[in-house]
Every structure is written in C-alpha cells, then in structure tokens.
Amino acid sequence: MKKNDIQHKVLERFLKYISIDTASDPESSNQPSTNKQLDLSRILVDELIEMGVKEVALDEFGYVMASIPSNIDEHTSIPKIGFIAHVDTAPDASGKNVVPKIIENYTGDDIIINDSTILKPSEFPELSKYIGNTIITASGDTLLGADDKAGVAEIMTAVEYIMKNPDFKHGEIKIGFTPDEEIGRGVDKFDVKKFGADYAYTLDGGEIGELEYENFNAAYAKITIQGRNIHPGYAKDKMVNAIILASEFNALLPVEQRPEFTQDYEGFYHIIKFDGTVDLSTIQYIIRDHCKDKFQEKKSLIEESITYMNKKYGHGTFSLEMKDQYYNMREMVEPHYHIVEIAQKAMEMADIKPKIKPIRGGTDGSRLSYMGLPCPNIFAGGHNFHGRYEYIPLESMTKATEVILNITQLYCK
C-alpha cells in the first residue's frame, strides 16, 4: 500500500461504514445502548485481524481494542500512543439507509442534496475552502455519519498502511473504538489500564486543521413541573397550567446565553426537549461553559430559578434533576502539552495549518483525560454534524490519515 492509495482506501472504508446504522439511544440503559452498533464493531474486528493485527478484542460493553507492537529496538523507550474514534452516530437524525452523494471537483456552487436540502455557500461559507475537492453528502433524508465514521475510517486506513509497510518505523500503537459517545456514555466502562496507552488522540473533530485540548464543562438538567388541570370553563383561580409555567421558567434564563447567540469560549443554556400537558410538563437542558467558575454559576442560576418558581407557585411545583456530564480536559492535558505540540507538528508535515481552538462540545477524550489518559482531539474533516446538511471533503479524510501516521513517527524521534 502506497501513500497515493490512502485516498482510495479511506473513501472505500467510509462508504462501507456509513451504510451501517449505528445510532445510539439515550433512552436505553444498556451498554452499548443499541445492539446495531456492534454490527460495525464486529466488522472492524474482522478487518483488523485480516490486516494481521494480532491483539484484537471486542468486549461485552462494545469496546474494540487492538495493539500493534513496536518495530523499533526494544531497548528504545517510546511512549505507547493510542488513536480512538466512536462507532455510533447521533440520534438527532436518522442514520438508517444512508445514501451517499459524491460531488467530484466541487465548483463552489450550491450543492442540491434533494429538493428541500441545499448546501449553499451563502449559508455555509466554509464550502468555499473546498473548491476542487470531492464533497460527500447524504441524500437529504438522513445524516451522513462522518461523526465519527470518518475518524474510524481514517484510523483503520492508517493501520492498514502501517501493517503493509514494515519499513515504517513506529512504537507500540493502541487502537480503540467506542460506542455511545453521542449520548455521553462513550467511556463509561472503558478500561484505561487495559487499553495500555500513555497518551492518545481522538479523531472526532470538525474541519481540516482543528486541534483541540479544551472542551466544555457539561451538565444536564431535567425539570418537572406539576400543574393542576381543571375544566377550562371552571378554571378561574384553580387551574395551574404546567405548560405556561415551563415557558415562564425558560424566560428566566438569559436569552443571550442560548447557543444561537454564543461562540468561542462563551457558554450557554440549551433547551433540548419539552414534553407537556396542562397537568404535567418536563423540560430538559444541557448546560455548557469552558470556565469552571462560570459553569458553576450557570448551574446555580438553574437552582435559584427553581427556588424562585416554587416560592411563587408553591413548594413541589418544580423539581430538578441535574448532573455533571464531563469536564474541560485542559486541566489534564496541559501538564503533558508536548502531545499537543506533536499533533501540531504532524499537521504541518502534512501541509496543514493547525487551528488550535476550544471544542464547543465534548469528546470521549475529555473524560479519558480525567481517567488518566491525556487525550486531545484531532480533526476528522466533517461539517454540519448530526443533521441532513452534513458533509465531508474526501481530501480532509486523506489528510487526517496522514496526520495519524506523522504523529506515530514523531514519537520515535
């Protein structure tokens, strides 16, 4: 396998992987949350074994782990480096029966995915960066699945290159594929000690060049509002409409701290679900901020608002379930900042200008960093994740594969 074969191989794998529905399910208490994720995991195990990777395993929780021994003098001390991606896709949009569309030599015009879904450079200006590239979208009825099957395909293609080129020098390499990242449970049962890496990288970022070692602190809040339903003809001074109260609660939160009004390091409150009747309503939020103090302030405002509404409408009208989900990995990665610098150098070697920026989200790497495995995040190449407008340039996937190989070599120097 030569380097000019990488583009063909990564495309072939990506198209194969996105054809498998692997959506995770936040309502399931199982791990993995959906058995269909294992359909892809088993394929990855078979492919790794076919490539000649010896230590390959799929465990009961849906984790695929593999190890490639060092081919450098055993007396040379080289860190063990891991590469990780997740097999599940977000439940926000269907991942079933994905039909890819491939636009070769993109001209910069609107991309008509279907009659109701059009990628317009006027709305998505980053498209202009990819004139001349091959753009891959879905059919407009599903998401594409580049988050994170692009990362999976890039890692697998790098593994194939390493296995077919014995002269390519490398230390011990660890490969991991996780389930349920999209529902915040990707590493709930991940055995860091068993994985055996000193440092790792997730291939789960966005556009080409992204390199991230900061992410949101994250919490989830579910608020239940108990109303009182009375026949509307006789409701005066008796009815308590839980739908109205839910709307009033939402209005207490700062409008300017909604996702659609924030960027960079700015945090937010994001209402993600509402279920309601007059008698009983629930609202769900995700709460995000890079700054730990501001994160605590946001959670405190939720609690104070609950107290205020209960004083106004009666004790027990509002109840709150709130829990932290993950934390900013910066605190865990900065003491090992050389792993960021190596990724930066690996991108420059591939003629990519690194874009070191905070993640406006989270990755498996954020939690792994707190579990003792410092784990920055590298671009996988896609845009507009989790919906019908998702797309990825093929050339970005090819470059991500090159970056993996470059990182591997840099640790040998």
Percent of the chain with pLDDT over 70: 99
Whether residue 54 has pLDDT greater than 90 = no
Whether residue 52 has pLDDT greater than 80 = yes
> What per-residue confidence (pLDDT) applies to 163?
96
- Same domain (yes/no): 33, 96: yes
Say how many CA atoms lie within 13 Å of 47 toward its Cβ: 20
Question: Average pLDDT of the chain?
Answer: 95
Of 185, 173, 162, 109, the closest CA to residue 364 belongs to 185
Contacts 24+ apart (CB under 8 A), 305-310: 305/249, 305/252, 305/253, 306/223, 306/249, 308/252, 309/245, 309/248, 309/249, 309/252
Whether residue 43 has pLDDT greater than 70 = yes
Phi-psi region of 192 (alpha: psi -120 to 50; beta: other; left: phi over 0): alpha
- Same domain (yes/no): 235, 96: no
- Same domain (yes/no): 32, 159: yes
Residue type, 360: R
- The phi, psi pair for 27, rounded to 5°, reads -85, -10
Percent of the chain with pLDDT over 90: 92
> What per-residue confidence (pLDDT) applies to 3?
64
Query: Does residue 125 contact residue 219 with C-beta atoms inside 8 Å?
Result: no
Q: How confident is the model at residue 360 (pLDDT cuts 50, 70, 90)?
A: confident
Residue-wise pLDDT for 174-205, tens only, equals 999 999 999 988 999 999 999 999 999 999 99
- Same domain (yes/no): 111, 165: yes
Cα distance between residue 159 and residue 53, in whole Å: 9
CATH number at residue 289: 3.30.70.360
Q: Which residues contact residue 233 at a Cβ distance below 8 angstroms, ignoring those fewer than 6 apart?
A: none
Whether residue 362 has pLDDT greater than 90 = no
SS3 93: coil
Which residue among 278, 293, 325 closes a domain?
325
Sign of the CA dihedral running 39, 41, 43, 45? negative
- Section 359-364 average pLDDT: 83
- Same domain (yes/no): 211, 336: yes
Whether residue 332 has pLDDT greater than 80 = yes
- Same domain (yes/no): 68, 192: yes
Of 334, 325, 317, 408, the closest CA to residue 374 belongs to 334
SS3 273: strand
Of 288, 304, 290, the closest CA to residue 219 belongs to 288
CATH number at residue 133: 3.40.630.10
- Global pTM? 0.88
Which has more pLDDT, 16 or 76?
A: 16
Among 172-186, 275-289, 350-364, 379-393, name the one with the lowest average pLDDT: 350-364
Helix ranges (DSSP H) in 52-184: 146-164
Q: Catalytic residue positions?
A: 88, 181
- Tell me which DSSP letter residue 388 carries: T
Domain with 49, as residue range(s), is 3-215+328-410
Residue-wise pLDDT for 3-12, tens only, equals 678 999 999 9
Residue-wise pLDDT for 59-103, tens only, equals 999 999 999 999 997 767 899 999 999 999 999 999 999 999 999
- Same domain (yes/no): 404, 258: no
- Same domain (yes/no): 321, 397: no
- Same domain (yes/no): 86, 17: yes
Whether residue 312 has pLDDT greater than 90 = yes
Q: Which residues contact residue 110 at a Cβ distance below 8 angstroms, ignoring those fewer than 6 apart?
A: 118, 119, 120, 121
Strand pairing class (355-356; 318-326): unpaired
- Same domain (yes/no): 47, 145: yes
> What per-residue confidence (pLDDT) applies to 2?
66
- Same domain (yes/no): 317, 347: no
- Tell me which DSSP letter residue 91 carries: T
Which residue among 307, 325, 343 closes a domain?
325
- Same domain (yes/no): 161, 64: yes
Q: Which pair of structure tokens corresponds to residue 363?
A: 């990755």
Of 164, 154, 192, the closest CA to residue 68 belongs to 164
Which residue among 325, 345, 365 closes a domain?
325
> What per-residue confidence (pLDDT) applies to 209?
97
Q: How many domains would you assign to the chain?
A: 2
Whether residue 405 has pLDDT greater than 80 = yes
Neighbouring CB atoms inside 10 A of 3's CB total 12
- Section 245-257 average pLDDT: 97
> What per-residue confidence (pLDDT) applies to 50?
97
- Section 234-249 average pLDDT: 97
